[in-house]
Amino acid sequence: MNPKFPDSPFLNDLLARLGEVLRQSPAQDFERNLKAGVTSMLTKLDLVSREEFDVQAAVLARTREKLGQLEARLADLEKHERQADEG
C-alpha cells in the first residue's frame, strides 16, 4: 500500500475476503489487479494521514488563538489612539 496511509483493517479485511472467494475461481490474477487498482485510486486522492491531520489541526488552533490575541491588541491600540486624539 501507499506508505502515506496506515494499513486499514477494513480494506485489508475486504481484500482478504475477496481474495478467498477468488482463490476458488479461475480469476486468481483479479485479486492482484484489484489491489493495484485500489492502491492506485487511493494515491490519486489527495488524502492525508490521521497523524498529519491532527498536526495541522493543532497548528490551526494555535493560529486562531494568536489571531484572537492580535485582534484584541489591535482593538486596544485603536481605543488608545482614539482617546489620545480626543484628549
Claim to verify: residue 81 and residue 41 sit in the same structural domain: no
Q: Which domain holds residue 10?
A: 1-47
Claim to verify: residue 58 and residue 25 sit in the same structural domain: no
Residue 4 neighbours by CB under 8 Å, 6+ apart: 43, 47, 48, 49
pLDDT tens per residue across all 87 residues of the chain: 455 656 678 778 888 887 777 676 666 677 778 888 888 887 788 788 899 999 999 999 999 999 999 999 999 999 999 999 887
pTM: 0.49
Claim to verify: residue 41 and residue 56 sit in the same structural domain: no
Claim to verify: residue 55 and residue 14 sit in the same structural domain: no
Nearest C-alpha neighbor of 35 from the set 65, 1, 60: 1
Number of domains in the chain: 2
Claim to verify: residue 14 and residue 56 sit in the same structural domain: no
Claim to verify: residue 38 and residue 60 sit in the same structural domain: no
User: Does the CA dihedral 3-9-42-46 come out positive or negative?
Assistant: negative
| Length in residues, the chain | 87
